[in-house]
Amino acid sequence: MTGHHRTPVTVVGLGSMGSALAEAFIGAGHPVTVWNRTPAKAAPLVAKGAEHARSADEASGLVITCLTTYDDTLAVLGPAAATLDGRALVTLNSGSPAGAREMAAWADGHGARYLDGAIKNVPSAVGAESTLLYYSGDRAVFDEFLQTLRVMGGDTVYLGAAPDLAALYEMAVGGTLLPALVGFFQGTAPLQARGLEAASMVRFSVKWFEMINSILPVFAQEIDSGDYSDPASSVNLFLAGAAHDEELGTEANLDVEWHKGFHDLLRRAVDAGHGDHSISALTEVLRTPAPGA
């Protein structure tokens, strides 16, 4: 099929992610229009065949925005609102469910057919068969543009009609990232203090993450059933390990302040009677704000 027959796409926002998205559409033969607040970022894409819109209201075809936040998206689309009536609009920024609901209400108010999306990978993974994107909102938009949406990633999922579902999963799944990365970063410090490279840890950390992957279904089952009584690893076991975190912190002169919230969580779980329960019982403590918060 030639580019002539492919769905025209407009990509609004050409940061690291938006540029990768536009490039994927160009590579797949779609007629692509691009817009960015800082126009210079359009140049490499125009050199590859994209049209450069001078303002967001020159959008054509399927409109895909990839700005930093919903507020940024609203600020950019605001002046172009009149052109969105009847048009399919997909937003791919990160944000909260409340932000998604506000965005959906705004899009609805201007007659746009709205799909909220989240991309769960890095720009270099855009276009790969395994790259996950999920969407919620207007099912008809998802169905009509599925082939086009799959250009950004082969693992393309529709979550449901509530427009904030994608943002909800985005935040629920994404919440693991910072604690996991901080743990990795902290782990490199005592190694480097001993003259060992961070790279020496990678193979073992990857195995560690694989182990975590493998036990998630077990924890999910415990959480869904509310039965924490047959633990592979108990809250008490993790609390015993807390002392080792502090010992290593002192020995290697590390900033271990960030551990305190986790250790406090473990103690509150013990106080609530979960000491001998599975570590997934922390979920019960996390359901409500900490005392005094």
To ligand NAP, the closest distance from the beta carbon of 284 in angstroms equals: 30
Whether 101 contacts 164, CB under 8 Å? yes
**Residue 207 φ/ψ region, left for φ over 0, alpha for ψ in the -120 to 50 degree band, beta for the rest:** alpha
DSSP H/E element including 83: none
Residue of closest CB approach to ligand NAP: 15
Q: Which one, 75 or 290, has the nearer CB to ligand NAP?
A: 75
Which of 9, 10, 13, 114 is in the footprint of ligand NAP by CB under 6 A? Answer: 13
Give, rounded to a whole angstrom, the gap between the first and last alpha carbons of the chain: 58
57 binds ligand NAP (CB under 6 A): no
Which of 9, 18, 84, 279 is in the footprint of ligand NAP by CB under 6 A? Answer: 18
6 binds ligand NAP (CB under 6 A): no
Radius of gyration in angstroms for the set of CA atoms belonging to the chain, rounded to a whole number: 23
Give the DSSP per-residue string, 206-245: HHHHHHHHHHHHHHHHHHHHT---S-SSBHHHHHHHHHHH
To ligand NAP, the closest distance from the beta carbon of 14 in angstroms equals: 5
Size of the site for ligand NAP (CB under 6 A): 21
Q: Which one, 177 or 211, has the nearer CB to ligand NAP?
A: 177
17 binds ligand NAP (CB under 6 A): yes
72 binds ligand NAP (CB under 6 A): yes
How far apart are the C-alpha atoms of 175 and 172, rounded to whole Å? 6
Indicate the pairing of strand 62-65 with strand 132-137.
unpaired
Taking residues 117 to 156 in sequence order and writing x for each that binds ligand NAP by CB under 6 A, - otherwise, the string is: --x--xx---------------------------------
- Burial classification of residue 130, based on how many CB atoms lie within 10 Å of its CB (0-12 exposed, 13-18 middle, 19 or more buried): exposed
Residue 204 CA: distances (Å) to CA of 33, 83, 183, 192, 200: 44, 53, 13, 16, 8
68 binds ligand NAP (CB under 6 A): yes
Which part of the chain contacts ligand NAP (CB under 6 A), choosing from 63-71, 108-116, 126-134, 196-204? Answer: 63-71
64 binds ligand NAP (CB under 6 A): no
16 binds ligand NAP (CB under 6 A): yes
Applying CB under 6 A, the residues found at the interface with ligand NAP are 13-18, 36-38, 41, 66-68, 72, 75-76, 93-94, 119, 122-123
